[in-house]
Chains A and B, each alone.
Chain A
Amino acid sequence: MSYFTNFSSLKLDVLREVGNIGAGNAATSLSKLLNKTIDMKVPDVQIVSFDEMMEMAGGSENIVAGVFLRLEGEITGSMFFVLPLEQANKFIQAMIGDPTINLDEQPYDEIALSALQELGNILSGSYLSSLSDFTNLFLYPSVPALAIDMVGAIVTYGLIELSQVSDYAIVINTQLSDKENMFSDEVNGHFFLLPDPDSFTTLFQSLGVMEDD
């Protein structure tokens, strides 16, 4: 726990705002892309154990479509856009305009996969570009990679850097839901932003928060 205990409530508030701005822009892009109203919950910033983080995404065995990208530039980190399959299907159907297309069975439909990858690309791009504008930091994303698998298997990739210094992760988590298809909380899409441990100082400085604030 020690690594993050020096985070004041001000710092946590700043991180919450980072999630707010990033995911807010991403939700707007998603809404335009699908021509639907997309709701976003107030982001929550939590310091959680690795197991608790899997619980946030519905338990480590929960099967999801996950888009993963590495954040490079002045700050580094990992970002995930995790969608339950049910919701991913709805989004893909809306994008392609074919209500029968889905990712329920193997082999996955090429067009469906491609659409989902593009969706991840657009959303994470708008999340990160707004983050870059907001912080004035130079940031660029890696090409997003897509996997359909258990949450545990996907999300641990974002914990590798962090796990070298801590048994806890600081997660900026934002939930998305779409108005027409109300799902229960566990099956909503999530953005997870996991800055690498070395990046917090730069991130806070860029937003005018001092080390001892």
Chain B
Amino acid sequence: MTSPITVVKVGIADMNVVEAPHVIRTSGLGSCVGIVLYNPLKSIAGLAHIMLPEASLSKAGSLNKAKFADTAILELVNRLETLGLNKNTLLAKIAGGAQMFQFNGTSDIMRIGPRNVEAVKKTLQSLKINITGEDVGGNSGRTIEFSPLTHQLTVRTVNKGTHTI
């Protein structure tokens, strides 16, 4: 007997958590970064899909924490802690942060991918969460899926096929 495996979908500027045997996925990462937090001995994991590096960029009245690298990671850690995971045991896998278009322009927007990756790494470092796998940069869109059972992150791209990290 096997229970059906469902895929928990995470949208843009969104986050969620998953427990094995289910898997968690986010699709169409371009300049956005997908961050998976997990404990190697447990079968619970969380995934956030961030768009922007820092919440200080927000000019909106209400803050969607899942949109920014710094606030999203903190929020995801909190959610995993309420599920019984210890912050000090968490590891991370990250993917995304591509530069989809090559522009000669000077605009900061065009560098948003690399800036997102930098912000994610900085926040993880400040929380002493190690990155065990990453597939960042480049110029391809990515769809990622994490299994909290195997702790493997499957990265699918249009141009370079599928691989796991």
Contacts and interface: CB of A to CB of B under 8 A. Distances in A.
Contacts of A167: 13, 60, 64, 67
Interface of B: 11-14, 27-32, 51-52, 57-62, 64, 67, 98, 100-105, 107, 109, 112, 139-143, 158-159
A154 B140 CA distance: 9
Interface residues of A, number: 34
Contact of A70 (B28, B98, B105): B105
Contacts of B14: 51
B137 to A, nearest CB: 13
B59 A153 contact: no
B56 to A, nearest CB: 10
Contact of B27 (A143, A148, A152, A166): A152
29 contacts: A3-B60, A49-B11, A50-B11, A50-B12, A54-B28, A59-B27, A61-B27, A68-B100, A70-B105, A70-B109, A145-B102, A147-B101, A149-B158, A152-B12, A152-B28, A152-B30, A153-B100, A153-B141, A154-B100, A156-B12, A157-B100, A157-B101, A157-B109, A159-B51, A160-B109, A160-B112, A163-B67, A165-B59, A165-B60
A165 B64 CA distance: 10
Interface of A: 2-3, 49-51, 54, 59-61, 63, 68, 70, 106, 142-143, 145, 147-154, 156-157, 159-161, 163-167
A147 B27 CA distance: 17
A163 B100 contact: no
Contacts of A160: 31, 51-52, 109, 112
